[in-house]
Amino acid sequence: MASIFSRPLDLVYFIYFITHILAAVLIDTYPVYKSFAPNALTSLNQWYIENFNDPFFVKNPTWFVSCLYIEALSIPLFIYAAIGLLKAVSRARHTFLVQSKRILRLISFTTHLKSLYGLIYASSLMSDYEVTLVNDNMQEFYVRFHGPEDTPFSGGVWKVHVELPDQYPFKSPSIGFMNKIFHPNIDELSGSVCLDVINQTWSPMFDMINIFEVFLPQLLRYPNPTDPLNGEAAALLMREPHTYEVKVKEYVSRFATKEAADAATDESSSSDEVSSVDTYSDEDESPDMDI
């Protein structure tokens, strides 16, 4: 059990109780009390009796003075109690913040599970992609992504690296193509992605299925050459669209086969930076992009 000195409110109550007992004893020994009672208190006592004619204080004139003494002695005690209360509130607030962080981590953990296993469940229903964990880490995994039909990327298979930040889904995941792809908004060497078409629109409502069923297919269908990561692809798309399609298909046949996707590893791109889909914009040209 903690000492009473570590519990300021209890200590104040104890001292306040003792003060009242001592005051009562002091009243019973009136001659002693009267000898050191200040004139101001004695005069105040007389004024109270004369104006209010309180029968109790008329009969026991020293009680009023003793009450004033008790209240005067209680002021520092209540100040001490107030300080103790503020400290207790501060500790409670700190505890609340710590618990809030734990709750947020739990929510993030649950969201990771929901997003990852939602993607795995969807992949079990469709043959468009499959998910492979990296070292059994649910925040880092590979997704086998197929190029959308009716585009030059049709028939291509890419291994996409995904990393979920601790702040997910409030912060967008980091993604990167492991095997080469020829696209204006995807860096050919690093595989980093500029999802300009969904810039500034990332929401906690989005998940991995949105990225692989909507965002990436839309990016491949409708490239944006005005905000490129691959300048050669952007220039070719704007000047010679037919030649651009031919080169896209050439990359698909050379680098986007199932075997190429299986062979793509972190070692083959160890010098590459994995992109984030959360910070590419006209105002911020950093490697990560908020969506």
pLDDT in tens, the chain (291 residues): 556 555 665 666 666 666 666 665 555 555 444 444 445 455 555 655 555 555 555 555 555 555 656 556 666 666 666 666 666 666 665 555 555 455 445 445 555 555 555 555 555 444 466 788 888 777 888 888 999 999 999 999 999 998 888 887 788 888 899 999 999 999 999 899 987 545 567 787 887 778 888 889 999 999 999 989 999 999 999 999 999 999 999 999 999 998 888 887 644 444 444 444 443 334 444 444 333
- Any residues with CB less than 8 A from the CB of 20 and at least 6 apart, and which? 70
- pTM of the predicted model as reported, rounded to 2 decimal places: 0.53
Residue 169, preceding peptide bond in cis (omega within 30° of 0): yes
Give the pLDDT score at 152: 95
Give the pLDDT score at 148: 92
> For the chain, how long is the longest CA-to-CA vector?
115
What the chain holds in terms of domains, given with CATH numbers, is 4-104 (no CATH), 126-289 (3.10.110.10)
Cα separation of 226 and 216, whole Å?
Answer: 18
Instruction: Give the residue numbers marked as catalytic.
Output: 194
Give the pLDDT score at 116: 58
Interhelix angle for 61-125 vs 39-52, to 10°? Answer: 90
For the record, the structure tokens of 175 come out as: 């993604």
Give the pLDDT score at 267: 46
Where are the alpha helices (H) located in the chain, listed in sequence order? 8-28, 30-36, 39-52, 55-59, 61-125, 208-210, 216-221, 231-239, 241-255, 258-263
Sign of CA dihedral 144, 272, 237, 283: positive
**Strands lying side by side in the sheet with 174-177:** 131-134, 137-146, 157-163, 174-177, 275-276
Q: Report the C-alpha dihedral over residues 273, 274, 280, 286, rounded to 10 degrees.
A: -30
The letter for the amino acid at 49 is: I
Cα separation of 174 and 50, whole Å?
Answer: 84
**Residue appearing with tokens 């984030």:** 276
Give the pLDDT score at 25: 59
